[in-house]
Structure 1
Amino acid sequence: MTSCYKPEQHSLTLGFVPLLDAAPLIVAKELGLFAAQGLNVSLQREASWASIRDKVAFGVLDGAQMIAPLPLASSLGLGATAVPMTTALVLSSGGNAITLSKRLLQQLDLDPTLLPCPLDSGKALQQYLVQQLQLQSAQQPLRLATVSPYSCHHYQLHYWLSTAGICARQVEVIGVAPAAMAAQLASGAIDGFCVGEPWSSLAQLSGHGSIVTSCDQLWHNWQEKVFAVSQQFANSKPQCYLALLTALLQACYWLQDIQSNSDKTAQLWHWLAQPQYLALADSGLNHASLFNPAVPQAFFGAALNMPWRSQAAFILQQMRNLQQWQGPLNQPLLQQVYRPDLYRQVAANLGFSAPATDWRLEGDAGPDGHGSRFIDGMLFGLQQ
């Protein structure tokens, strides 16, 4: 497809963290979709989301794959100096899972393969913590890990704990880089974690842990990774930004049937296995096991790729619940950070449909099943 944009900058560096949902950036690079937009893109692997945030903030990276709450957190100055960021494209949905160590599962007397409901493991953990309190056990508190305090992983883990009746103070939650999760679990440094694929599957494959719930079961059809840039970049190089969004949305479209198309899965595996990307060649995974059916993941859909402001408001609510930030949920920040107008523009140019509204009732899957759904049946809605 010939580009309809005239990028102000042609050579760019985009960042990613080695996870399966970095696939849209890798596909856009390897399929020549960036090049078709007149862009010479280099992809730079980063170890942590803090590194991604800081390098985008200081202009070392022109843009990056980001955990969905990070553009909001950066714009609010949570965890670092405030740098306004923006996103106009959701890259993926799902892909996260909560994994507990084999040691802990044995103490809980749980076989995760027999759990009829993802909340059963949470209830068993709650009962275990009550017993430990009654016994006045001298053991160290359970230590669970997430990839960042400003991530859907962090909020989904706390949502799972809260729904099971576990208070945040009953466990210790720390930050660990995604690629280090399995090793930390194996060493006993942590008792469980919430992370994106393939790290939960690899921990399970190694025998050191088992997945007790996918986060798609907790928050169904929820944004996970977004493509984000600084607002300074978006404002000063609007044609370049639109060209990047176009290439990435095309890559998401290519990935839409990835789990059922063996030829595409094999091609994606070939790319991801390379050392500059996920370096999976010696991981124990192969193209047939690249996507774990126990951890649903998706990359394309009119509602999926939409940067819903209602979901942004819900993320702000999670920040308030965990006392990371206090403020109104419906505020100008949402309009600054989330740009569904740009998403609609890019989608229309590609011939894709897009939702006409920026807000929806979260928790209502709707008759077509494309809406979101929470494990506890909660509904969340705000007036625009």
Structure 2
Amino acid sequence: MTDLTLPDTLPTPEKCALTLGYVPLIDAAPLIVARENGYFDDCGLDVSLSREASWASIRDKLQLGLLDAAQIPAGIPLAAAFGIGYGQRPLVCSMSLGLNGNAITVSRELHAQLSRRAEFSATPAGTGAALKGHLRDNPEATLTVATVYTHSMHSFLLHYWLDACCIDRSRIREVVVPPPQMVDTMHRGLIDAFCAGEPWNSAARDRGVGEVLVSGYQIWRNAPDKVLGSTADWAAEHPASLQLLIMALLRACAWLDDPDNREAMLALLRRPEYLGEGLMQPDPDIGRHRFFGAAANFPWLSQARWLLEQIQHGQPPRHPAEIDALARQTYRSDIFRQAGAALGLNLPLTESKPEGVHEHDWTVEGSQGPLSLPGDRLFDRPALEPPN
């Protein structure tokens, strides 16, 4: 386990009593662990956690100042930079809360139909080929697929997979369903498939409602997902509070990344005030969560640019310089660097990296020497380097 020691002297927070929002998912664990393990207390913060029903609720409460900060999909602050969504206050991402965590789950009936097809294999290409063939053989069929938010990694992974497999998106009717409602919505026959974070894919399978078709990790290995978000105004007015918040969350992420702590993490998440007993036993091979290490918490500008490119589909085209400026004003690596340096982290010397092209682990230059990063290839992309 990585032991992150707080510096001897901590800044004085401008505001000690903070309210953080979260949606009940495995990747809310950094907030929950930081509170229950006393990491917020160690930083002089009195943190209350507010369980929210949907990402729209968190977005709106951030805009209204009802939340100080929150766990949010990475696309929300970037969509706000485009002027999309409720409210006009710019949002910033000051930290990634980890990598991976999502999957595409289909109803048991649809899975049975797809798995019987000759094209089917348990890969993104094989499942995509089976779905394409199914739609070709059923020309009147339209599938209803739920995602958790329009501008979330769930939607972008779904779209990437469909497009890479040459599936006509006009045959897919997309709807938005909050993560905790996915399983019941599928059970009622209102959706044929959904893309959501864990534990809701495992829950659908364990309750006999659906089967995981393909994981987000299979589509894009070690993809970004949730971030720590706040309004830009709040971040500017509370720099010390935000630094302390990031330090506490980094300590929680380091604790979570230790496999020996998995059962303790699940015990915390199963508590009724967090995810509850409905969590059951999520399959770690579905989520493949990575909470810490390998710069998993660094807010990469290259990831912000990739997300902005997805968000601008269907929007008036933006000049690349404007995309870069929006990425820089939203993904605040300068804020993260200050907190990470205080904890002695090896931080990347660059703000950007090639995305989605590495088959194997690779390295970048870090503040304390070479920094190992994990393979991150998108399933249909050629690898940047030959295998070792």
Q: Same fold (TM over 0.5)?
A: yes
RMSD between superposed Cα atoms in Å: 1.9
Greater Cα offset, 331-340 or 243-252: 331-340
The aligned residue for residue 221 of structure 1 is: 222
Counterparts in 2 of 1:242 and 1:284: CA distance versus 1, 3 Å: closer
Is residue 343 of structure 2 the alignment partner of residue 342 of structure 1?
A: no
Q: CA deviation at 1:334?
A: 1.2
Runs of 4+ aligned residues of structure 1 deviating over 6 Å after TM superposition are none
Partner of 2:355, secondary structure, is coil
Counterpart CA distance in 2 for 1:99 and 1:85 is 31
The aligned residue for residue 244 of structure 1 is: 245
The aligned residue for residue 100 of structure 2 is: 94
For the 8 Å contact 1:362–1:372, the answer to whether it is kept is yes
Q: CA deviation at 1:324?
A: 4.5
Q: CA deviation at 1:275?
A: 1.4
The aligned residue for residue 266 of structure 1 is: 263
For the 8 Å contact 1:310–1:361, the answer to whether it is kept is yes
Greater Cα offset, 75-84 or 145-154: 75-84
The aligned residue for residue 292 of structure 1 is: 284
Greater Cα offset, 53-62 or 214-223: 214-223
Q: CA deviation at 1:328?
A: 2.9
The aligned residue for residue 170 of structure 1 is: 171
Counterparts in 2 of 1:353 and 1:284: CA distance versus 1, 3 Å: closer
Is residue 55 of structure 2 the alignment partner of residue 49 of structure 1?
A: yes
Map 1:353-372; keep pairs closer than 5 Å.
Answer: 353-365=346-358, 367-368=361-362, 370-372=374-376
Counterpart CA distance in 2 for 1:161 and 1:374 is 13
For the 8 Å contact 2:35–2:47, the answer to whether it is kept is yes
Partner of 1:374, secondary structure, is coil
Any gaps of 5 or more consecutive residues in structure 1? none
Q: Any idea what the Cα deviations from partners look like across 1:191-215, whole Å, max 9, x if unmatched?
A: 0000000000000111111101110
The aligned residue for residue 119 of structure 1 is: 125
> For residue 340 of structure 1, what is the amino acid of its counterpart?
S
Q: Any idea what the Cα deviations from partners look like across 1:26-64, whole Å, max 9, x if unmatched?
A: 010001111111110000000100000110111000000
Counterpart CA distance in 1 for 2:61 and 2:210 is 33
Partner of 1:15, secondary structure, is strand
Counterparts in 2 of 1:372 and 1:233: CA distance versus 1, 3 Å: same
Partner of 1:312, secondary structure, is helix
Choose which of 289, 292, 303 in structure 1 pairs with 2:295. Answer: 303
Any gaps of 5 or more consecutive residues in structure 2? 1-5, 363-372
Map 1:145-164; keep pairs closer than 5 Å.
Answer: 145-164=146-165
Choose which of 82, 85, 110 in structure 2 pairs with 1:79. Answer: 85
The aligned residue for residue 33 of structure 2 is: 27
Counterpart CA distance in 1 for 2:137 and 2:26 is 38
The aligned residue for residue 369 of structure 2 is: none
Partner of 1:294, secondary structure, is helix
Counterpart CA distance in 2 for 1:355 and 1:171 is 40
Is residue 332 of structure 2 the alignment partner of residue 326 of structure 1?
A: no
Normalised by the size of structure 1, how large is the TM-score? 0.90
Counterpart CA distance in 1 for 2:9 and 2:222 is 31
Normalised by the size of structure 2, how large is the TM-score? 0.89
Counterpart CA distance in 1 for 2:240 and 2:86 is 29
